[in-house]
Amino acid sequence: MKKRFAVIPLIVIMMLSLMAGCTQESGPEATDGNGEQEAPAMKLVAVGECTFAPFEYVDEATGQPAGFDVDLIHAIAEAAGFEVEYKNMDWNSLIAALQTGEADLVVSGMTITDERVLEVKFSDPYFESGQAWCVEEGSPIKTLDDLAGKTVAVQINTTADYAAQKLDEKFKEEGKPGLSIKRLEQAADVFNELKVGGADAVISDLPVIQEYLKNNPDSNIIIPEPAFTVEYYGIAMRKQDKEIHELVNKGLATIKASGKYEELYEKYFGTK
């Protein structure tokens, strides 16, 4: 007895939810009132780790993601005719989010590397960058080689982390003391680590260090040397999403030709 009463409402609920599903227009099969095919704009989810100003950060006033990458993907979407929503996510979850379908685009100042190319498809490069390092004014560390035996803060699993590991190996090969590497979860954590004395130096992407200095003029932090790597950022996508690859590259080319890219570049990196 008991069992039957429990099962009937369940079946009713299942039927109702099936019916509701049928009335919803969804996907490319959606038709208009005349039974003709409508082409609803594709809606894509973009993700990035939003502690990486000026590329992506949480705007203090709105609480929403903002930055060069956020504006860029919206401009690309507009030019290529798709819709996009940008969400904040942990750095280590970004590529996994593509694989689970939680996201379609990673727009996160992500450097195109040989290892990542094994897992994802990158758009055409959209930004030239490189690794640099910074210290507090008056630090005895004057060149990259002076980092032997010191502690450096990096964001985990970034090209800064990989550069630090390479440097550590190099020092050891040269018979010098190695580099101790503090691998932190968030991009912005590295600057706090330096400030509180938990690290002697920071390695990060040059434009991000420059932005930190701009926003923290009293930090007494200096960038003693130019960038020591050349890297290109790309938008990461699932390998099989050929249509999305084309749309994104087409949109990027369009905004480069139209001057929109230039406008965004000026907004975030201009000297004016």
Rounded to an integer, what distance in angstroms lies between the CA atom of residue 256 and that of residue 266?
Answer: 13
Among 44, 53, 56, 153, binds ligand ARG (CB under 6 A): 56
Amino acid at 56: E
Give, as ranges, the residues between 243 and 272 that touch ligand ARG (CB under 6 A): none
User: Is 95 one of the binding residues for ligand ARG (CB under 6 A)?
Assistant: no
Binding mask 194-233 for ligand ARG (x = CB under 6 A): -----------x----------------------------
Among 46, 47, 48, 77, binds ligand ARG (CB under 6 A): 48
Give the nearer residue to ligand ARG in terms of CB position, either 205 or 211: 205
Question: Which is nearest to 200 in space by CA: 259, 244, 144, 126?
Answer: 144
Question: Which is nearest to 187 in space by CA: 47, 55, 45, 46?
Answer: 55
User: Is 91 one of the binding residues for ligand ARG (CB under 6 A)?
Assistant: yes
Among 77, 98, 103, 159, binds ligand ARG (CB under 6 A): 159
> How many CB atoms sit inside 10 A of residue 246's CB?
11
User: Is 191 one of the binding residues for ligand ARG (CB under 6 A)?
Assistant: no
Give, as ranges, the residues between 109 and 148 that touch ligand ARG (CB under 6 A): 109-111
**Closest approach of ligand ARG to the CB of residue 47, in Å:** 10
Q: Which helix (H) or strand (E) holds 253?
A: helix 242-258
Structure tokens at 35: 């039974």
Query: Which span sits near ligand ARG by CB under 6 A: 37-45, 105-113, 169-177, 262-270?
Result: 105-113
Residue 5, C-beta contacts closer than 8 angstroms, at least 6 positions apart: none
For 141-153, b/e burial (b = at least 16 CB within 10 A) is beebeebbebbbb
Question: Where on the chain is the footprint of ligand ARG (CB under 6 A)?
Answer: 48-49, 52, 56, 91, 108-111, 155, 158-159, 187, 205
